[in-house]
């Protein structure tokens, strides 16, 4: 945890989970929500794919469109956190400028990087994304034909090649947030 101090504020908090497609971002966010819900009302999951759909799928997957999508997620996360909610964000692209701005603007911010090798993700490929990219059916896939820039200073890193348990990772994320960790009973 890089020695940063986090404090829960009345504004809520944001957990921003990033990693390549198929690394387990949404799964981890769901596990955090499952552990937190009995003790804390007001937990919102902003999944990049669902938010994209909610805005009418008006964006493609180019670098420019991905940055626009991240700014949308960032704005929504800030709006919701300022209303006292715990916001869990699952986002693929890790734009360094957006991540730096997250630290400045988002209350109770914790950044989680789910590290995974492309080989492992290609083997899992639950959405068929990497196979379609390999066949030339789709373009603008982060880590394939778009650059992947891992976050420079994440608060937590989990290597999901080792198939870490999502509930255990969720407990570690919660433990990184002093204002939240006391709310969760862990057997």
- Give residue 95's pLDDT band: very low, low, confident or very high (50, 70, 90): confident
- The count of domains in the chain is 1
- In the sheet that 43-47 helps form, which strands lie side by side, from edge to edge? 43-47, 86-91, 13-18, 110-115, 156-159
Is residue 98 within 8 A of residue 25, CB to CB? The reply is: no
CA pair distance 96, 151, nearest whole angstrom: 7
Percent of the chain topping pLDDT 70: 89
What is the pLDDT, as a whole number, of residue 183?
47
Q: DSSP character for 61? A: S
What is the pLDDT, as a whole number, of residue 178?
64
CA pair distance 82, 85, nearest whole angstrom: 7
Reported as a single tens digit per residue, the pLDDT across 32-45 is 999 988 777 789 99
What is the pLDDT, as a whole number, of residue 34?
94
Tell me the mean pLDDT in the region 16-38.
Answer: 94
Which residue, among 9, 32, 37, has the nearest Cα to 172 in the 3D structure?
Answer: 32
Please tell me the least confidently modeled range out of 22-26, 54-58, 127-131: 54-58
110 belongs to a structural domain: yes
Encoding tokens for residue 29?
């966010």
CA pair distance 69, 63, nearest whole angstrom: 10
Pairing type for strands 13-18 and 43-47 reads unpaired
pTM attached to this predicted model: 0.88
Reported as a single tens digit per residue, the pLDDT across 157-179 is 999 998 789 999 999 999 887 65
Which residue, among 51, 52, 56, has the nearest Cα to 80 in the 3D structure?
Answer: 51
Q: What is the domain extent for residue 66?
A: 13-117+150-178
Reported as a single tens digit per residue, the pLDDT across 111-143 is 999 999 999 999 999 899 999 999 999 999 999
What is the pLDDT, as a whole number, of residue 186?
42
b/e code 92-104 from CB counts within 10 Å (16+ = b) = bbbbeebbeebee
CA pair distance 63, 45, nearest whole angstrom: 23
What is the pLDDT, as a whole number, of residue 134?
94
71 belongs to a structural domain: yes
Question: What's the distance, CA 11 to chain centroid?
Answer: 19
82 belongs to a structural domain: yes
157 belongs to a structural domain: yes
- pLDDT higher for 125 or 3? 125
What is the pLDDT, as a whole number, of residue 177?
78
24 belongs to a structural domain: yes
Does the pLDDT of residue 182 top 70, yes or no? no
30 belongs to a structural domain: yes
21 belongs to a structural domain: yes
CATH of the domain at 65: 3.40.50.300
Tell me the mean pLDDT in the region 144-150.
Answer: 92
113 belongs to a structural domain: yes
């Amino acid at each position: 945890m890089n020695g940063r101090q986090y404090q829960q504020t009345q504004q809520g908090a944001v957990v921003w989970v990033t990693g390549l497609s198929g690394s387990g971002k949404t799964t981890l966010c769901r596990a955090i929500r499952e552990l937190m819900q009995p003790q804390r009302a007001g937990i919102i999951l902003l999944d990049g794919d669902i938010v994209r759909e909610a805005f009418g799928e008006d964006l493609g997957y180019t670098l420019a469109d991905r940055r626009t999508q991240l700014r949308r997620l960032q704005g929504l996360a800030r709006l919701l956190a300022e209303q006292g909610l715990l916001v869990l964000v699952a986002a693929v692209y890790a734009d360094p400028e957006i991540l730096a701005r997250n630290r400045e603007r988002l209350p109770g911010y914790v950044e989680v990087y789910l590290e995974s090798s492309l080989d492992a993700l290609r083997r899992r490929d639950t959405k068929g994304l990497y196979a379609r990219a390999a066949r030339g059916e789709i373009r603008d896939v982060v880590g394939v034909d778009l650059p992947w820039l891992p976050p420079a200073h994440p608060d937590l890193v989990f290597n999901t090649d080792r198939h870490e348990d999502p509930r255990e990772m969720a407990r570690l994320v919660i433990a990184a947030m002093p204002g939240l960790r006391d709310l969760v009973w862990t057997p």
